[in-house]
Copies of this chain bind each other. A is one copy, B any other.
């Protein structure tokens, strides 16, 4: 009988093939027409977990997409790890920029290209593969494991948030593993100690009662796009500083030692600009490094401006309505509810009086999270990642948001290990998303070592 590690090594192509099967399902949670695909992706996962002879595998209906819950609690006295990931994916537009179709996984240059390869199917599957490697070789795990995998991470996560609030007892654990972050660079594993929060909405501006001919009415009728341009320039200045009153009041600077570690990271701003961003220049608030602006400063972005005429050719219309889809990334200790209220009040205050402006938003959002590096689970994870990748793992933060992390850290009071194998150029939310397959396999080994570390650390301390 092979060891769990030998099993994982010898089943590399099988795990890749299974990942590819899952990636074929276009489980885009923000687009209502993909609802059946979300269910297919959830059922695929439940079947996969059942094939591992886990004693409990449940498909849990929620107000939104189904949750998958599974557990193996055969190591009494050992710690329990709650593992989290998501099976939903981002939309794929602009579709024409994909080299291969987003839901036909294709391996090129050591990477697997598909929507969801990095975010998050290819990451959560390393946790599941690690569990399989143990169960199929030794019939047991070094620790107890609970898995909670959702289908709405990209669309608000209302279902899992409610479930965590209502089932805190069932989810009781000693630590949490959230596989939805990434590596700092190729070969450099990382643990994410901070995540930005998010809150957003759509600024809806209406001017005339109907679309108007810009010849007939140009000069007297308010133009919602002109009003939106004035509002947007009143939300963020040319330096990138958000102008919403009170926006920065609760912002806490990161500890000096954390900033010092960031300064030592192999980060080449010129290469980052050239290879990752590709714009003529970076933007942002003066007085902060690029990493600080991405990890420890809040921001405000416009994602799209629906309305008017956007087809080929021209139509000289003054549209009756236009809007701007906006979100704000938050850092500790900003509070989403306070920020959206201040945002709404500011939009109403600065909107031109010739139009009606309102902000449509669902409230909600996600608070920012900061995790202490001193928790034993973080120490265990750092050692496991360093060993599996043969390179000291680094502590970073993440500019993105994983709303459920604040539930795990705040509501369940768990030390949360946020990590993953996605690379900075994985294109998680853009065309040609990919996962490095070598990192995928090292990720499986890292999770297995983390199980061992957690089990033996517990033995030593209990």
Q: Which residue numbers of A lie inside 8 Å of B, CB to CB? A: 30-32, 90-91, 93-94, 97, 155, 196, 198, 200, 206-223, 225-226, 228-230, 232-233, 236, 238, 240, 277-285, 290, 293-294, 297, 299, 301-320, 322, 324-325, 327, 329, 352-356, 398-401, 424, 427-432
Contact = CB atoms under 8 A, between A and B. Distances in A.
Contact of A213 (B225, B226, B428): B428
Nearest to A306: B310
Contact of A305 (B210, B284, B305, B315): B305
A438 to B, nearest CB: 22
B304 A309 contact: yes
A283 B222 contact: yes
Given A278-B209, A282-B354, A302-B225, A399 B315 contact: no
Contacts of A309: 91, 93, 303-304, 325
Contacts of A32: 312-313
A26 to B, nearest CB: 15
- Give chain A's interface secondary structure class: loop
16 contacts: A208-B278, A210-B278, A210-B427, A214-B329, A216-B400, A216-B424, A216-B428, A218-B399, A222-B279, A222-B280, A226-B302, A228-B229, A233-B233, A281-B354, A305-B307, A309-B325
A324 to B, nearest CB: 7
Given A233-B233, A297-B219, A305 B30 contact: no
Contact of A294 (B198, B219, B240, B317): B219
Contacts of A91: 309, 311, 315
A333 B214 CA distance: 20
B301 A314 contact: no
Contacts of A222: 279-283
B219 A316 contact: no
A200 B314 CA distance: 9
A17 to B, nearest CB: 28
A283 B221 contact: yes
A315 B30 contact: yes
